[in-house]
Structure 1
């Protein structure tokens, strides 16, 4: 066995040991023990039904009544069976089915037929969860089902027969007991928070649950303090977690008020920290930047959450705990990943995206990351997580992070990031009518012996973004070795690319008539195919600008985006940016 293979096995064994110790520590935690042993009697009644902030679509209620269940990009027809008897089209489809979030569509229809259909489907599940009962029993799926049943309880139980009412209450209590016992087994990150949120909702909504509510409140406070960082970003570094979590936290806050109880300080503080970060990650078109698992932004959900934001101030610019920076000037926005990967236990969806950025102007996005699709993620997951799927530098077609893969351990731990940038240095300031940002990371130091440094300079008038890439030896006094680099700028599908005669320059045209020129005077600009995974209708073809070379021959590269035509102005097509970045007539 080679030395590298032995080192690999030792490294993986150490990872498993750490994960096991964390699990034991979680089980031994006083609040976790108190929660797992809190009694959950069958409630006589429900005291309140929380609000569901997720929008229901009554047209989907007709589809469900007709026996067509469309989840996660897959459609299945019942043909006289219950949906739980079907072999699921995918794991995502099964999770959506057994999570019962689709009850909100039946509620939106608010007809007698829709209510009867909803009760029949819930009754079918209570009698027999079906062939995917293992997926239905997962802590995060059970948690979503409990929350869905509680939020739709008024709709479900109105005019219900006593037999259904009793079966519903017994099943609800049984599922809450299951959650209570298995809360520590939920994957770290949002799934674990979701489980504790469900237990807190159950303690508030179900009668005779005083001890459960007390234990769940305490556990929820601990997890929120741990998982929501001081600047309001999530520990997973996935911006989408803010949306999902607030869609549950805001109704929970209202539920405490409905019970004439003070919401825990940890809940209030977490909401207050998270709200400004919603604006931090937004581009001018309202969509979130695509980092660490963020997919398509559901505009209706985001608008609903922002309606609760009383401050409505300008977004913060610096999120050091979350590892992000934002440059904003006259509608031009740069959002950059300037942090190391998240902790191993919550990195199972994290990306190798250090120093990647997105760039937008007004309501148009120019430079993006590929993101991840909203459905069928498994097909694209590892491609989307690679450094090459982000707008940053790639060395020798290798990601800046290393994922646990190709091992039987993946069945236990998923595909977390096991190695990556340890040190990310960030400097920021304003000088000479521009916002300056410089950052560097050592993710390529162990394998290639180099540091990648990237600088951005955004003019205060929003008309120009200058960048610089520097590759330097990681060890003091060492020389750079020969390694190929590719600096990628993935373009949004709405951007049309036109070549100039100058091989160092390209013109980018936007739908509103606005145009930007891209120039890289030291290396030629190539245009390659790319794919934008986070589009609302699924993956879309797009283009990317690529600068290639060798770090030993070209250790410093500069590039520029310059606005050459305003959206509402004169035709400036006779002006272009030359290879030295200066505008001059053709």
Structure 2
């Protein structure tokens, strides 16, 4: 019965269209058509900008997600002994737009020809799934526009891939998958010429504006509430602006204007949700080295002459700049030498929460350019125990009650009962302090009759966190995951002294018992770095944690 309830609470949020298109996908399969690829005449010049690290090492060796591998024959492309995400990356061809690509064009041509030979459409496999098709179509097109010497066989393959994708759009998933499907068809429809190319372009443009309006919220955040996927989509939009300059008129001018407006908002959101080291925070599925670095994205926009919105300079008489990103559900507090990022968000789009974590009321914090309190990050997808642990409440800087998750995450990308923000006190700001709070009902959803309220009070060199649990519970534990570079000087069951970069920090708790436990931090896929977490066992319904810092 419990399994049926989990399925019920998962499926009830889906759109009817997702059920419909999933059923269609079961009984309708794309046709493999042979199409001659012809290039469309270019009017403008493609602005080349490399954004990835090198992936192709030599004619047999590749490296993705911090793991090297070899492709010695055609079976390697779909080797079941390899992680699914690693195999997907093998088919993406990100290397075509990676740093130093100019020096690897001959090697890249070998890989393209190898892919064409080893992966005929009739054989299916990872390379013919809609998401991998979408990323590869764009990567090939961008490389060809950048001066890569392609031949007719490559153009024919590109056309066949676009035609196959046009029949295999991921309308059963929607979200970022569907957006990149549409983007790929727009790329293929612009780069290639002819009746089929015009059809792909129409299909791609048909839903692009609607998805743009839904997936980029009014505050500029991507609706999946992941800084990593936000940065990916921002890069996607810059690619579309670049494409429009090469083939003017193919992307309608009003849509192009909306894209540029969204880009401006997204840059502002990215700045607010990044740490003082200028890199993304780790909320929901987020890690480094998947999306381009912030500075790489900034440089791309500058090359395209796309304006980058920036926050106004902070008033020197005010200690903090406070931004409430109301639509996405985050609060960003910037004190110049301290940055606090708090999650007061809903789980995400109700019908596609696959990248959500059970992290409601978690937060991250940095002092200077040193990260201090960090969520655990993401090192893998899939359905194993470690994936579940990384999505769990205990892997984030928030409160776990009765050893349960605040949101019922399960499998690799599933969410059943989920926490909702039932009360939010907007930031109260004076020149030298900031106070805000939020309450969620996640534990009530899973049968524990209590609410969790968290308040943050930030002053010049002090942060006080007050957790109130309204109701009856057996046990509750608060976590503060420390960045691996943090050096603990001494601690007791009530306080802890440590060093964070150029700062001495003291953390003390009231109505709680503090201990230190081993943990791991996951800054990249395929990477696990030992760290420690402060674990606070709650001895009352109200527990306060005080964090003070002093520069050396």
- TMscore range, shorter length: 0.7 to 0.9
1:327 and 2:318 aligned: no
- Aligned residue-pair number: 521
Q: What is the deviation of 1:96?
A: 1.1
Partner Cα separation in structure 2 for residue 136 and residue 430 of structure 1? 52
Question: 1:514-529 to 2 correspondence within 5 Å?
Answer: 514-529=503-518
1:351 is paired with a residue whose SS is coil
8 Å CA contact 2:229–2:291 kept in 1: the answer is no
Q: What is the deviation of 1:399?
A: 0.4
Q: Which runs of 5+ in 1 are unaligned?
A: 29-35, 406-413, 474-480, 568-586
Distance of aligned partners of 1:22 and 1:511 in 2 relative to their CA distance in 1, 3 Å threshold? same
Partner Cα separation in structure 2 for residue 251 and residue 316 of structure 1? 31
1:558 and 2:544 aligned: yes
Which residue does the alignment assign to 1:380? 386
1:110 is paired with a residue whose SS is helix
Partner Cα separation in structure 1 for residue 322 and residue 383 of structure 2? 31
Distance of aligned partners of 1:332 and 1:383 in 2 relative to their CA distance in 1, 3 Å threshold? same
Q: What is the deviation of 1:306?
A: 2.1
By relative contact order (CA 8 Å, sep 6+), the higher-ranking structure is 2
Relative to the length of structure 2, the TM-score reads 0.86
8 Å CA contact 2:480–2:534 kept in 1: the answer is yes
1:525 is paired with a residue whose SS is strand
Deviations 1:97-134 (A, max 9, x none): 111112235x83535xx433322322232233179842
Q: What is the deviation of 1:24?
A: 5.4
Q: What is the deviation of 1:79?
A: 5.0
Q: What is the deviation of 1:503?
A: 3.6
Which residue does the alignment assign to 2:261? 269
Q: What is the deviation of 1:54?
A: 4.0
Partner Cα separation in structure 1 for residue 167 and residue 393 of structure 2? 39
8 Å CA contact 2:74–2:119 kept in 1: the answer is no
Distance of aligned partners of 1:118 and 1:341 in 2 relative to their CA distance in 1, 3 Å threshold? same
Question: 1:277-356 to 2 correspondence within 5 Å?
Answer: 277-296=269-288, 301-307=293-299, 308=301, 309-314=307-312, 317-356=323-362
Which residue does the alignment assign to 2:66? 73
Q: What is the deviation of 1:298?
A: 6.7
Distance of aligned partners of 1:260 and 1:391 in 2 relative to their CA distance in 1, 3 Å threshold? same
1:538 is paired with a residue whose SS is coil
Q: Which runs of 5+ in 2 are unaligned?
A: 24-29, 302-306, 313-320
Give the aligned CA root-mean-square deviation in angstroms: 3.2
Distance of aligned partners of 1:194 and 1:50 in 2 relative to their CA distance in 1, 3 Å threshold? farther
Distance of aligned partners of 1:388 and 1:260 in 2 relative to their CA distance in 1, 3 Å threshold? same
Q: What is the deviation of 1:290?
A: 0.8
Question: 1:84-103 to 2 correspondence within 5 Å?
Answer: 84=77, 89-103=82-96
8 Å CA contact 2:402–2:473 kept in 1: the answer is no
Which residue does the alignment assign to 1:31? none
Q: What is the deviation of 1:181?
A: 1.1
Partner Cα separation in structure 2 for residue 338 and residue 547 of structure 1? 21
Partner Cα separation in structure 1 for residue 343 and residue 111 of structure 2? 44
Which residue does the alignment assign to 1:235? 223
2:534 is paired with a residue whose SS is strand
Partner Cα separation in structure 2 for residue 185 and residue 149 of structure 1? 24
Matching residue within 408, 422, 425 for 1:424: 422
Partner Cα separation in structure 2 for residue 404 and residue 83 of structure 1? 30
Partner Cα separation in structure 2 for residue 335 and residue 211 of structure 1? 44
Greater Rg over alpha carbons, structure:
1
2:156 is paired with a residue whose SS is helix
Which residue does the alignment assign to 1:582? none
8 Å CA contact 1:50–1:252 kept in 2: the answer is no
8 Å CA contact 1:51–1:151 kept in 2: the answer is no
1:12 and 2:12 aligned: no
Question: 1:560-579 to 2 correspondence within 5 Å?
Answer: 560-563=546-549, 565-567=550-552
Matching residue within 154, 157, 161 for 1:168: 154
Distance of aligned partners of 1:377 and 1:20 in 2 relative to their CA distance in 1, 3 Å threshold? closer
Distance of aligned partners of 1:381 and 1:124 in 2 relative to their CA distance in 1, 3 Å threshold? same
8 Å CA contact 1:23–1:184 kept in 2: the answer is no
8 Å CA contact 1:287–1:297 kept in 2: the answer is no
Which residue does the alignment assign to 2:131? 140
